[in-house]
Structure 1
Amino acid sequence: MTTTGLGSVPGDDIREWTRAVLELVDLPFFPELPARPYGDMISRTIAVLTELAADLQTVGWRLTGGGDARASLDQRRARAMLHEDLDVLEEYFDGYEGPLKVQVTGPWTLAAAVERPRGDKVLADHGARRDLAQALAYGVEQHVADVRKRVPGAEVLLQLDEPGLPAVLAGAVPTASGWSKHRSVDGPGAVELLSLFTGAAPTVVHCCAARPPIEVFTKSGASGIAVDVSLLNNAAWEQVAAAAEAGTKIYAGVVPTTGALPRPERAAEPLVRRWRELGLDPERLKQVVITPACGLAAAASVADARARLKLLRDVVDVVGEAADE
C-alpha cells in the first residue's frame, strides 16, 4: 500500500517541505504553501496559464485577455514563485526515480472562482469556460513536461483539485450580485471538460466534498479518485465501490487535517468497515492509497502536519492487516 499528501501544507519554507515529502510519504508530491503570497491553489494554477492573462482584484483573479505579453504584475509574480519552487524541486529530486504527483485546480473549480474581463464568473459563459479549460489543459501539458524535464526519472501523476464541482453540478454557485445562482452544468458537460486533462499524465481527481461526483470523474478517464472517507454517504460509497471494482485507484482520506491526532486503528476503521460492508475484494483494499482527509494547510503547525503525514504509514499497516484477516 501507498501513502501520499493532497498538496497544501502549512508554513512558508518550500525547501523544508520539498525535503519532507521525500521522507514522509511513499508517493512524493509537489508541495503547495498557501500561507505565502500567490501560494494558494488558484494562484498556482493561474501561474500555469500561458495562453491567458489575468490580474488579481480584491474579489480574486480576473481574466484580462490572451498571451504572456498582457500578464499582470500579480500573474508574473505567481509564475516567478512557481518557477522558483520548481527549481527547488529539481534540486532536491536530483537523481530521483519513481512516482511524483503535481496538483492543479481543475477547470470547473477554476471557472467558478475566476471572473471574466467584464465581470461575473467564467462559469456564466459556456464559451468562456471552454476557452479557459482549453488554455488550462495546454498550460498543464507544458507544466507536466517541465516537471519531467527537471526530474527525468519521475513518473508524473497529475492531480486535479475539484472542490467546487459539486456546487457547479447542483447550480449552487452564486452570481456576482448574490441574488441568484449560476445555471447547473450536466454530467456529460462536466465530463467533456475534465477529459481534456486525462491524457497529459495518469490523472487523479480530488474532491473532499460530502457528495463527490465520482461517476463524472471516472467517465472523464481519470485513473484515480481522492475523497474524504469521513464525509461519504451511502450513495457515494456505492460509487466508490463501482469505481474500485472497475480498476480505478482509490485515494482514501482517513487522517483528519485538524484536531487531535487519532490512533492508527481509529483512522483506518471507517475505510475498513465500509469496504467489508460493501463486500469489496480485500485484495483491492491493499491497493488503496492512504491520504489525509484533505489538504493540510489548516493544520495547527508544520510539526502537526508532518505528524499527520507520518501517521499515514501506521494506518497502512492497520489496513493491510485487516485486508489479510
Structure 2
Amino acid sequence: MIFSFGNLSPDSDVVLIYGNCQAPYVGELLAAADAPQSGRHYLCVLNHAVPGAEIELPDKALLARCVLYIEQIDERAEVPIRSFLRDNIPAGVETATYPPVVMMCFWPFETVDKRIGSSRYYPWGRYNGDMIGMQVARQGLTGDAAYGAYMDLAEKRMPNLANRLQWDIDAISARDQAADVQIGDYLATSYRYKHIFWTAGHLEIEPMAVLTCRLYEHLSPRLGGDRAEGLRLLDAFAFELQDRVGGMGNTQLPINPLVAQGLGLHYGGEDMVYRWYDQEWTFKDYITRYIANDEAWGLQE
C-alpha cells in the first residue's frame, strides 16, 4: 500500500518513508510540519499488503525524485520491497531511521486461529486469534459459561507478565539503539497510564506524534525552515488528528482484565469499552463472541 501527503505536483521533491502501518502517520505528521515549505511530496510505502493482495510498488520515476529516505527499522535480513526502494532511489540520498513502536505483552494469548478467515469487509478477519479462546471453543461452551471457563483457564495459564513486559522493553531498547531517534523513554512512562496501544503495533495518535516530533527535530537541518513553527504545526495537526480519528484504524483489541491487573495498568478493567470496527464492546463482549466465532454483526457479505 502507498500513501501520499504534501505537494503532489509532478516536479516536487520526494521524501520517501518505508515501514509498517505506522509509516503513513509519520508521513502525514511530517508533511504538516513541513507545510510552510510546501514543496515536498511525502511518499509512504508499506512493507506489507492486505491479505490476498500483492505489495504495491511505487513508480521508479517517482523514486528518482527522492531527496530524503526515511526507513523504519526492520530486523528482517531480506525484505523485497525495502530492497526495491533502496535500489531505485538516487545514489547518495540522505537517510534517516526510526523505530517501530510495538508492545506485545498486553495480549499474551494472541495466536493464529484458522477459523478466522479473510473476507471483503474484514480482510484481516473479524477477530484476532486467542489460544485460550480456541481451547474453550473446542469444549462447545457459549455465553457466560464460555466466559467463565475462559477466565478460569486464562488465570491458570497466565505467563509471567513481568517477564513479558521486560522482553518488550528490551526489544524497544534494541530498536531504539539501531535508529536515529528513540521512543523507549516515552513508552516506559506512559503505557501504564494511557491506553496508547490499540493492538501490538496500532497506536493512539499521541505516541506517533511524539515519535514524529523527534524525527522532525532530527531532520530539521535537512528540511530547513523555522523549526519551532514546524513543531507547532505538527502538534496542532496531531491534536486535530487525535480528535478526528483517535488512533490507527478502527479496532482496539480488548485487554483481559487479569492482564491489566497483572501489568498494573490504570485502564483495562472489566467495564472498559473498546472500539471494535463499528461495535463498542467490553472484553467479555469480545471474547464470548470470538469463542463462538459470531459473525452476526457489522457488515455482511
Q: TM-score with structure 1 length normalisation?
A: 0.28
| Structure number with larger C-alpha Rg | 2
Q: TM-score with structure 2 length normalisation?
A: 0.29
